[in-house]
Structure 1
Amino acid sequence: MTVHRSVLASTALLGLLASCAPGAERGGALPGGVELSEERLRSDIRTLSSDAFEGRGPASPGEEKTVEFLVDQFRDIGLEPANGDAYTQEVPLVSITVEGRPALRFGGAGGASELAWGTDFVAWTKRVQEHVSLDDSELVFVGYGIVAPEYGWNDYEGLDVRGKTVVMLVNDPGFATQDPDLFNGNAMTYYGRWTYKYEEAARQGAAGALIVHETAPAGYPWAVVQGSWTGPQFGLESEDGNASRVAVEGWITGERARELFAMAGEDFDALQQAAARPGFRARPLPVRASVELDNHIERSVSRNVVGMLPGSERPDEAILFMAHWDHLGRTSDDVPDPIFNGAFDNATGTAGLLELARAFASLPERPARSLLFVAVTAEEQGLLGSAYYAEHPLVPTHKTVAAINMDGLNVLGPMRDVTVIGLGNSELDRYLLEAAQEQGRVLTPDPEPEKGFYYRSDHFSLAKVGIPSLYLEGGTDHVEHGREWTTQQKDDYTLNRYHKPSDEYDPSWDLRGAVQDLELLYRVAFTLANGDAWPEWAEGNEFRAIREADLAAHRD
């Protein structure tokens, strides 16, 4: 905790160094004399986000069109198949869809209530079962639902929640208190992510797990919850059919949570404040929950799309570029716009992957190390494609020099800065700094660390197996319009288009900023691919020991 913050603080030097550069201008010619095309980038974004691709849902007709398009592009670019003689890596998925619109019922001495599907709550199961239910399940408020020995925090201390339903808050106490000495202060830790909370509830033996949604700590409005968790829920299936998971997972709105706590004779706001302080103890609620979920189960195989540009001297060593091709697909046709086009998220990143592949393939001489290009599936369902790749890498983890992830390119235009999610995590920052100096730009940290973006994209899957990973997110200081305008534009996207059908291609997008950032990533990868360095995680980083052990186990 303390070490991590000191690492971040030390990276302020990076900004100072870069700020010595003259101004935010496009850098000179790229190494190797290649050029990135804004026109090609725009064309690929427009194609991938068109209605013809039906929202690029995994295991759907939209996937077939997307994979066919990407394989054709990889082949035309000149990449070689990266999985034997195949341009694809199969990812076995199980899709579980709740049928109908079930109700969630609460009852106790203080009264009874019924929550409406979609409007008041959403629920699902990861268990591969056609029917799951909660039947008069006792409720327990477990604060943030965190067990973190390194922080001296255990919301489940002294509890037996087997067969019960836990109710939890989203994010973590650091965000709630804004105390820099509590967890990671305003910056979300992995303990604040919904994925962790459901996993911990399962480890504790709970039957159900409900997270209370509030926009600020979640980082997105209720509409995002509705759009993300009311359709097919994809997962990787374990040998036990995911029987170790909680039977019912879900979200409830903050408004209905307050009503629930009042029914139990409790003050939600008071308990919320208490839960953020050390020494909090879970509170049983004299209310029981019931819900029945009938599920439609489909097993399918989705695909990562993989292409390789072999190195000229050390082809067994690789730099990995990645972007997720999938989005949320389509919903029922009885709404005005049933297609979640995912233009920004992530047709832009996938198009960037193609443009970088074209650049490296056009080099007159191939780099010493290989370049691996991976368009992963099922990111929107929980980073599943990248998680499967991390478990089944096509280049061994100890031979993968670094990973570079693209998830939402800058469509607002040139920036004076470039935002690095996880700035200070690894030595990759140094390579990025050198590239940024060529453009007269500064490196800046995530301006919204409370939203946990580091844990919300595919680089996290590779970081967990030790591979140093770089993830950019445009910038915050527009060359022409400044910071305030940039913030307004990003906030508008989050509120009105993120994970909604309205995330559509806009011909007015200024893709000069996207090209600017792709040029940075090209320079970083070019340097690594033509050198012999192995960037390391920063001292004290949680992934450093994993990397060191992996490399040590394979030393000659």
Structure 2
Amino acid sequence: MELPFRIIAAPCAALLLALAGCAGLPFGQRADTGPHLSLDTLKDVTRTLSADEFEGRGTGTPGEGKTLAYMVERFAAAGLQPGNNGSWYQDVPLVKITAEDLGALNVYGPAADMLFAAGSDWIGMSYREQENISLHDSELVFVGYGVVAPERGWNDYAGIDMRGKTAVILVNDPDWRSETNAGPFNGRAMTYYGRWTYKFEEAARQGAQAALIVHEDYPAGYGWNVVERSWSGPQSRNRSEDRGASQTLVNGWISNDTAQAIASAAGTTLASLAAQAEQAGFRPVPLGLKVSTAFDNSLRYIDSKNVIGILPGRERPDEYVVHTAHWDHLGQCPPNEAGDDICNGAIDNALGSAALVALAEAQAKTGAAARSMVFLSVTAEEQGLLGSEYYAAHPIYPLDHTVGGLNIDGGSMAGPTRDVDVIGLGKSELDTVLARNLPKVGLSASPDSAPQAGYYYRSDHFSFAKRGVPMFNIKSGQDLVEGGREAGAAWNAEYRAHRYHAPDDEYDPAWDWRGVERQFELFYWLGRDLASSRQWPNWEPGDEFRTARDQSCAAAPGGC
């Protein structure tokens, strides 16, 4: 029986209690019977996509062609129909830019002349489609967190003309040191203003010639090794009509040690500059230093592809529930000690691609729901959510007719958990959908265990969310049945330190699948619920995405 949303909606406090208390079943028992996801499919797709022959699934490589063909084969076998007017594909035009012979970063002034080595001290590239990049005698300006947020009364660029200058920017946002999620930028919970993508975008809007983000492990959410691996080698971008002319000439990262040396040469300390940047009313600080560097760009234009399958709805086929997972990974990357230079991306995100296939199988086996279900395997997530961004900007199915959806990006192989981590808990009315489905799998909901990392802005659901479409982003829980939260945190820490975005993220036959198996079964019920109901979930009042949804719904006859 389908109930109108307003009947089942719970007050916020009661809802959070329901989310926290849904794990009344012992592990291994379920309140509902129904099709369970095929473990054989999960294993087979993960193992296949992360094999060396797929070359790390880099965009524009032979590994892409193999991956696309395999995903189409599995989607068709699962019972989906081609999702783009008879085609399985949506072309995503990209330019692949490779910085070659990346030079040292030369920082100099009246009493300083320092060279910072590429790789260990700084790493960068250009978003401009030009073969030679030369940053010369550009004045360094510390711009705090690089935030311009009129609605919060904050402008880190106030009173300065950045043309020809290089912005030095702190990672995360101004109140990340808070022990709570309260503050002008949600305290320790990162907002989009804290993401590196935003910081480079804003620096370009301000007319800066270059932008350098200061890395720090905790507020970034990863170590310098991840920066080096992720930013070395070819970097894909969505093509633009101006060939990147509106972007900064150089975008890059500097290590914390590099930043401290620059601050010292400017007659101050990084800690002092950071303290100023955390205060309302901060103004940019010219450092009295200049910077130069140079490198060449190798340009390659490619048409990458998203893979799209659909299970048409039986009653309201023009209303859509979307499931997303990215098929790409890093391709080749800096080798490990054994000389292996293929970043296989088994957990990130062959596993998510496997879940997408298994979910399609299970939903097709159950049969069509009232609404259509879209399964979207997107490209170039690792390069900045480019495939999902392209789809959301050029949707095959109108976003004002897209009810909501869920994104799948990795998972934990630490074993069965009592919970799932809900990234973005409290942001939208999707919480009510979650509350009524958690009991079916005997799990509870835990809030984001690392709010400072800004995970809600770091995967493909964000491309939809910022345009108003509510999306689930649910991660593996950390409350392990065997070992509790301490053991769960230890597994995550080990993965982040040694395998994430590294050659050692490989398929392991000894993995314990029980935790992700149940997590993905929850995804089945969430997708089924959204596709079977008449609910049109919105963002909570005051949420950053509420206005986009309201405007979309107001302009959409027959949609939300």
TM-score normalised per structure 1: 0.95
Indicate the residue corresponding to 2:303 in structure 1: 301
CA distance in 2, matches of 1:416, 1:26: 11
Amino acid at match of 1:71: V
The within-5 A match list for 1:53-72 is 53-72=54-73
Distance 1:444 1:18 in 2: 7
Does structure 1 residue 554 correspond to structure 2 residue 559?
no
- State the distance in 1 between where 2:215 and 2:357 align: 37
**Could you tell me whether the CA contact under 8 Å between 2:405 and 2:527 is conserved in 1?**
no
Q: 2:97 aligns to what SS in structure 1?
A: strand
Q: Does residue 1:108 correspond to 2:95, yes or no?
A: no
- Seen in structure 2, the aligned counterparts of structure 1 residues 62 and 487 have a Cα distance that, compared at 3 Å, is same
Distance 2:113 2:447 in 1: 47
The more displaced of 153-162 and 177-186 is 177-186
5+ long unaligned stretches in structure 2: 1-10
State the match for 2:4 in structure 1. none
Contact 1:177 1:276 in 2 (8 A): no
How far apart, in 2, do the equivalents of 1:265 and 1:366 lie?
67
Residues in 1 aligned to 2:22 and 2:57: alpha-carbon distance in whole angstroms? 43
Moved more, 118-127 or 401-410: 401-410
Structure-2 residue corresponding to 1:213: 215
Q: How does 1:216-365 map to 2 (within 5 A)?
A: 216-331=218-333, 336-363=339-366, 365=367
In structure 1, distance between residues paired with 2:416 and 2:304? 36
Shift of 1:243: 0.6
Matched, 1:91 2:85: no
Structure 1 stretches lacking a partner, 5+ long:
1-8
Greater mean alpha carbon deviation, residues 52-61 or residues 270-279: 270-279
Of the structure 1 ranges 457-466 and 172-181, higher mean CA displacement relative to structure 2 is found in 172-181
Residue by residue over 1:126-166, the C-alpha shift from the partner in whole angstroms, topping out at 9 and shown as x without a partner, is: 01111122111111111111111122211111111110111
SS at match of 1:47: helix
In structure 2, what is the equivalent of residue 145 of structure 1?
A: 146
Tell me the CA shift for residue 17 of structure 1: 5.3
Structure 1 residues 477-488: aligned runs within 5 Å: 477-488=479-490
The reply on whether 1:380 has 2:391 as its aligned counterpart is: no
RMSD: 1.9
Describe how 1:464-475 pairs up with structure 2 within 5 A: 464-475=466-477
- For 2:548, what is the secondary structure of its paired residue? helix
Amino acid at match of 1:125: S
Residue aligned with 1:269, SS: helix
- Over 3 Å counting, the alpha-carbon distance change for 1:380 and 1:185 in structure 2 is same
Task: Check conservation: 1:30, 1:519, Cα contact below 8 A.
Answer: no
- Return 491-500 or 329-338, whichever deviates more: 329-338
* 1:13 Cα deviation after fit: 3.9
Greater Cα offset, 196-205 or 143-152: 143-152
1:471 is paired with a residue whose SS is strand
Aligned-residue offset at 1:182? 3.3
- 275-284 or 244-253, larger mean C-alpha shift: 275-284
Q: CA deviation at 1:107?
A: 1.1
SS of the aligned residue for 2:177 comes to helix
Task: Describe the SS at the equivalent of 1:404.
Answer: strand
Shift of 1:498: 1.2
Which amino acid counterpart does residue 171 of structure 2 have in structure 1?
A: V
Cα shift at 1:178: 4.5
Q: What does residue 5 of structure 2 align with?
A: none
Structure 1 residues 20 and 475: CA distance shift in structure 2, 3 A: closer
For residues 191 and 394 of structure 1, the distance between their equivalents in structure 2, rounded to whole angstroms, comes to 29
1:129 is aligned to 130
Q: Structure 1, residues 296-352: CA drift from partner, whole Å, max 9, x if none?
A: 000001010111111112211111111000000014789801100011110111000
Give the SS at the match of 2:404.
strand
**Residue aligned with 1:327, SS:** coil
Is 1:537 the equivalent of 2:539?
yes
Shift of the 467–220 alpha-carbon distance from structure 1 to 2, 3 Å rule, reads same
**Counterpart in the other structure of 1:368:** 370
Alpha-carbon distance between aligned partners in 2 of 1:86 and 1:17, rounded to the nearest angstrom: 40
CA contact (8 A) 1:11 1:423 kept: no
Structure 2: distance between partners of 1:20 and 1:191: 34
Amino acid in the other structure paired with 2:339: P
Q: For 2:185 and 2:381, locate their aligned partners in 1 and report how far apart those are by CA, in whole Å.
A: 27
* Alignment check: 8 A CA contact 2:95 2:301 kept: yes
- 2:517 and 2:424 map into 1 onto residues whose CA distance is 22
Contact 1:18-1:436 at 8 Å conserved across structures: no
Counterpart of 1:409 (choices 408, 411, 418) is 411
CA distance in 2, matches of 1:333, 1:153: 42
Q: Secondary structure at the match of 1:260?
A: helix
Shift, 1:20, TM fit = 5.7
Residue 377 of structure 2: SS of its match in structure 1? strand
Distance, in Å, in 1 between the alignment partners of 2:358 and 2:23 is 27
Q: CA deviation at 1:11?
A: 5.8
Contact 2:54–2:67 (Cα < 8 Å) also in 1: yes
Deviations 1:344-385 (A, max 9, x none): 11011100000000001112x421211110000000000000
How far, CA to CA, are the matches of 1:357 and 1:341 in structure 2?
A: 24
The superposition leaves residues 381-426 of structure 1 with CA deviations (integer Å, 9 ceiling, x where unpaired) of 0000000000111111111111210001232222111111101111
For residue 168 of structure 2, give the secondary structure of its aligned residue in structure 1.
strand
| Alignment partners' CA distance in 1, 2:223 and 2:122 | 13
The range that moved more, 452-461 or 505-514, is: 505-514
Structure 1 Cα separation of the partners of residues 505 and 447 of structure 2: 26
